[in-house]
Structure 1
Amino acid sequence: MKINWGTGIVIAFGLFMTFILYFVFEVQSNSKYDNDLVVEEYYKHDSHFQDEMARIQNAHDLQRKPSIKYTENGVKIDFPATMQNEKIKGNVLLYRPSNKKFDFNTQIVLNNSTLLIPKNKLVKGRWDVNMEWQYDGKKYLSKEVVYVN
């Protein structure tokens, strides 16, 4: 039997569709591929976006901002010495973009204007640090990306 160019195109198209359908089925059914959303309640989170932007702007407008950096001991958050430790309240969310199982929250408890999150709590790689805090009743939000070695 002789195959002409029209039959060849139909066969190639059919094979391509089969490959795509196999790939879609494999990604949807295999637990190795994680299809979770970044935020569980996306629309609820999105409705508070303007409030979040106001808190980020408050943090940006500070003369002396808290610094978030990685040291050999862990993630170190330094608040300005001009701020009184007992007036600072809030929490720090360490978010792991690659795997939500490693995400955790820590309350802000300061020693000498410093909060240290120990290295043994952190897995190597990228961490998004979101610090929601308030000082003298004004709310702030600081975001930083930290890479743990």
Structure 2
Amino acid sequence: MKINWGTGLVIGMALFIGFILFFVFRISTDKDLNHDLVTEGYYQKEMELQEDIYAQQNTAAMEKQIAGKKTEAGYMLQFPAMYNPEKIEGKVFLYRPSNQRLDFEIPLKLNDPNLLIPDDRLVAGRWNITIDWEYEGKSFRYKKEITY
């Protein structure tokens, strides 16, 4: 049987469309692949945006900022010495853009101005750190991207 160019073109397009449909079906039904949203409660987060803006403005107005550095024991966050660590309350949220299962939150109760995030909780790669904290009724928000 002889195949002309029109028949070959139709067969080629049919094979290509079948190939694409196979991968679309496989990706949408595979339980091992994760299809996470960027964040849970997206619309609720947007409603809290103005409060976040005020908290970030308070942080930007601080004389000395929170410092972070990598140590052998983990990632060390150092709060400014002008704030009494025992009056600082809040939470530290670590967000892993590539895998939602690695995200975690640490409550912020300090006895000294340093907070150590243990090395065993941090996987190598990019992390977004968000610290929401209050000091004497004033809200602060610190955000930073780190590569660990």
Q: Please give the TM-score of this superposition, normalised by the length of structure 1.
A: 0.88
Query: Identical aligned pairs, as a percentage?
Result: 43
Q: Deviations over 1:67-97 (max 9, x none)?
A: 1232211111111111111221110011222
Q: Is the 8 A contact 1:69 1:146 kept in 2?
A: no
Q: Is the 8 A contact 1:68 1:144 kept in 2?
A: no
Give the aligned residue type for 1:42. Answer: Y
Report SS of the residue matched to 2:62. coil
Structure 2, gaps ≥5 residues long: none
1:1-149 matched pairs, under 5 angstroms:
1-148=1-148
Q: Is the 8 A contact 1:92 1:108 kept in 2?
A: yes
Q: Distance in 2 between matches of 1:123 and 1:26?
A: 29
CA displacement at 1:102 relative to structure 2: 2.1
Give the aligned residue type for 1:27. Answer: I
The number of residues matched between the two structures is: 148
Which piece of structure 1 moves more, 129-138 or 40-49? 40-49
Give the aligned residue type for 2:67. Answer: S
Q: Distance in 2 between matches of 1:50 and 1:6?
A: 61
Q: Please give the TM-score of this superposition, normalised by the length of structure 2.
A: 0.89
Q: Is the 8 A contact 1:58 1:140 kept in 2?
A: yes
CA displacement at 1:108 relative to structure 2: 1.2
Q: Distance in 1 between matches of 2:147 and 2:72?
A: 12
Q: Is the 8 A contact 1:95 1:104 kept in 2?
A: yes
- Give the superposed CA RMSD: 1.7
Report SS of the residue matched to 1:146. strand
CA displacement at 1:43 relative to structure 2: 1.7
Q: Is the 8 A contact 1:88 1:133 kept in 2?
A: yes
